[in-house]
Amino acid sequence: MAQVRLVTANLPPHAMNEGKEGIAVAILKEAEKHLTFKSTIETRTINRALVTPQHHERNTLLFPVSRSKKREKDYRWIAPLYAVEFAFAHNHQKFSLEEAKKLDMIGVRQNSMFEEVLKNLGFDNVYSGSPNPEQLAHMLDRKRLDAWFGDASQLKYILDKKLNTKTSFKVSHSVGAFPTYLAGDSQTDETIIEAYRQAILTVQQSDFYKKLIAAYPMAHPISRNHPLMP
């Protein structure tokens, strides 16, 4: 069996290089117990990670990555890992989707699905200039952004753990929960794809998975009828 390389980015609480592995890494390490081959996990910047499967040797896989119609042909979508809510971080007393459309600037992570989601919902006030979520958190704190839109579990993690501020930010107004995936390139071996699908499904049916999901607010067990992005 060929060597499998798993590529991720520092995306707390999904994958982290801060002494903790994160929910996505934990699922794939547990899945490896049900595989007949070994893999390595590499952490890269988010922009490099997204293009790694297309530019490296066969059987290089990417996780966690969101799936949408725009990205559908970019990867082989191997298996959904769990679902995450997409929501807004803000400190406004009154806040609704229609009111959010009237804000001057809403930040999203560069090269993420979040800009696509907001534009599909009719937003034209989106800033996507930084790939670093912590930078977006500081921009929000300094009032250079009116709100920050993204994966609700990551928004909450960074605002709670990383931002030293007297401002109390809310994470609210979810636009839905969407699956995050393990993905590969078009040349990924079918035997590897099927092996991971079965191993991940086995993990998702276990008590380990239920306890892991319960430990992460705003993460949800995968459902086979989860939609693609709006």
Check which CATH number belongs to the domain holding 158 and give it: 3.40.190.10
Taking residues 65-92, what's their average pLDDT?
Answer: 90
How much is the pLDDT for 223?
66
Question: Does some domain include residue 227?
Answer: no
Q: Do 157 and 191 fall into the same domain?
A: no
Q: Do 93 and 168 fall into the same domain?
A: yes
Judge whether 46 and 7 are in contact, CB under 8 Å.
Answer: no
Q: Do 73 and 124 fall into the same domain?
A: no
Judge whether 1 and 37 are in contact, CB under 8 Å.
Answer: yes
The fraction of the chain above a pLDDT of 90, given in percent, is 48
pLDDT tier for residue 229 given thresholds of 50, 70 and 90: very low
Chain-centroid distance of CA 171 in Å reads: 16
Q: Do 61 and 115 fall into the same domain?
A: no
How much is the pLDDT for 17?
62
φ, ψ of residue 150 to 5 degrees: the values are: 180, -160
Q: Do 78 and 90 fall into the same domain?
A: no
pLDDT tier for residue 200 given thresholds of 50, 70 and 90: very high
How much is the pLDDT for 134?
85
Question: Does some domain include residue 187?
Answer: yes
Q: Do 15 and 75 fall into the same domain?
A: yes
- Tell me the pTM: 0.86
The whole-angstrom separation of Cα 70 and Cα 113 is 9
How much is the pLDDT for 190?
94
pLDDT tens, 158-194? 888 766 666 788 898 889 888 999 999 888 899 999 9
3-state DSSP percent of the chain in helix, strand and coil, to 5: 30, 30, 40
Q: Do 184 and 76 fall into the same domain?
A: yes
Above 60 in pLDDT, residue 85?
Answer: yes
Q: How many domains are contained in the chain?
A: 2
Q: Do 76 and 105 fall into the same domain?
A: no
Mean pLDDT for all residues in the chain = 86
Question: Does some domain include residue 50?
Answer: yes
Above 90 in pLDDT, residue 48?
Answer: no
The half-sphere exposure of 108 on its side-chain side, counting CA atoms within 13 A, is 21
Question: Does some domain include residue 160?
Answer: yes
The parent domain of residue 162 ranges over 85-176
Q: Do 96 and 146 fall into the same domain?
A: yes
Taking residues 104-115, what's their average pLDDT?
Answer: 90
